[in-house]
Amino acid sequence: MISMRNVQKHYGELHVLRDIDLEIPRGQVVVVLGPSGSGKSTLCRTINRLEPIDSGEIRIEGTLLPDEGRDLASLRADVGMVFQSFNLFAHKTILENVTLGPIRVRKTAKADAEKRAGELLDRVGVGTQRDKYPAQLSGGQQQRVAIARSLAMSPKVLLFDEPTSALDPEMVSEVLDVMVSLAKEGMTMVVVTHEMGFARKAADRVIFMADGQIVEDTDPESFFTAPKSDRAKDFLSKIL
Ligand code: ADP
Ligand code: MG
């Protein structure tokens, strides 16, 4: 589903992604761990082309990432992203936030988009909030709306970049529960998170990054019980 070959990226002198080779099959749930500044966000942002790469190639279902134009909008619809800061449109209702993409990008009829949005909002547990504005919802509710908005595009892949880091602690599990259910249903997911419980429960695979490189690529059980690299041992000793 996602294929990265020898991907390199610099910000000026800083080599932020080094020799990234990564094949993610359909339905796999990959948790990306690593210290701050190791390149996790940059990795996600290159997969939906929010950031260009210097060299190498990235393919989604065999198709090279487009550089610009209509193809790029369609890629962004196929590769959804959920951010730490929910990024909902403040002046649009919850329902409008979820229907906007399908109507504009997927050319879905308004009535159909609203029906589907209602189902998705119900599914993430905020169906009764549909006519409110984002600021009227809690952070956990807003993040669940952001997930529904991504799902409304029927993405092939969902990327999550620290989706619970900005939430009050009591709201973390309501978001993680939605993510666990998506994982169980076979969604292909790349999840940057510090929630080790999610990694243990839902991940098929853990990727540990340091200094822009993939240092370990293994199953969660092996990673948490027998990390191989000193960098991973050090990381785990600080967070567990
Ligand atoms: P992580 O998500 O693992 O914390 P990032 O991918 O955000 O790491 O950042 C990797 C490195 O790239 C860091 O050193 C960060 O400061 C740097 N960086 C990230 N975005 C930019 C940018 N737009 N311009 C310059 N440097 C950046
Ligand atoms: Mg980050």
Q: Per residue in 132-144, pLDDT tens?
A: 999 999 999 999 9
The enclosing H or E element of 48 equals none
Nearest atom in ligand 1 to 43's CA: 6
Residue with the smallest CA separation from ligand 1 atom 16 is 37
User: pLDDT at position 68, please?
Assistant: 74
Tally of residues, the chain: 240
Residue 11: count of CB within 10 angstroms of its CB: 10
Confidence category of residue 222, pLDDT binned at 50, 70, 90? very high
Quickly list H helices, the chain: 40-47, 70-78, 94-104, 110-123, 139-151, 169-184, 196-202, 220-225, 230-239
Name residue, tokens 């020898």: 6
- Give the number of the ligand closest to the Cα of residue 51: 1
d(CA 143, CA 199): 19
pLDDT surpasses 80 at 86? yes
User: Ligand 1: does its nearest atom lie under 6 Å from the Cβ of 143?
Assistant: no
Percent pLDDT > 70 in the chain is 100
Q: Name beta bridge partners: 167.
A: none
Residue with the smallest CA separation from ligand 1 atom 21 is 11
- Give the number of the ligand closest to the Cα of residue 43: 1
Cα–Cα distances in angstroms (integers) from residue 156 to residues 27, 61, 186, in the given order: 9, 9, 11
pLDDT surpasses 90 at 26? yes
What ipTM was estimated for this complex? Answer: 0.98
Q: Pick from 42, 43, 160, 192 the residue to mutate for probing ligand 1's pocket: most ligand atoms within 8 Å of its CB.
A: 42
Q: Which amino acid is at 159?
A: L
Nearest Cα to Cα of residue 34 among 23, 48, 20: 20
* 14: CB partners within 8 A, 6+ apart: none
Residue 168: count of CB within 10 angstroms of its CB: 10
User: Ligand 1: does its nearest atom lie under 6 Å from the Cβ of 141?
Assistant: no
pTM assigned to the model: 0.95
* Angle at alpha carbon of residue 28, lines to 191 and 127, rounded to 5°: 60
Q: Are strands 188-192 and 29-33 parallel, antiparallel or unpaired?
A: parallel
Where is average pLDDT lowest: 28-37, 72-81, 82-91, 184-193?
72-81
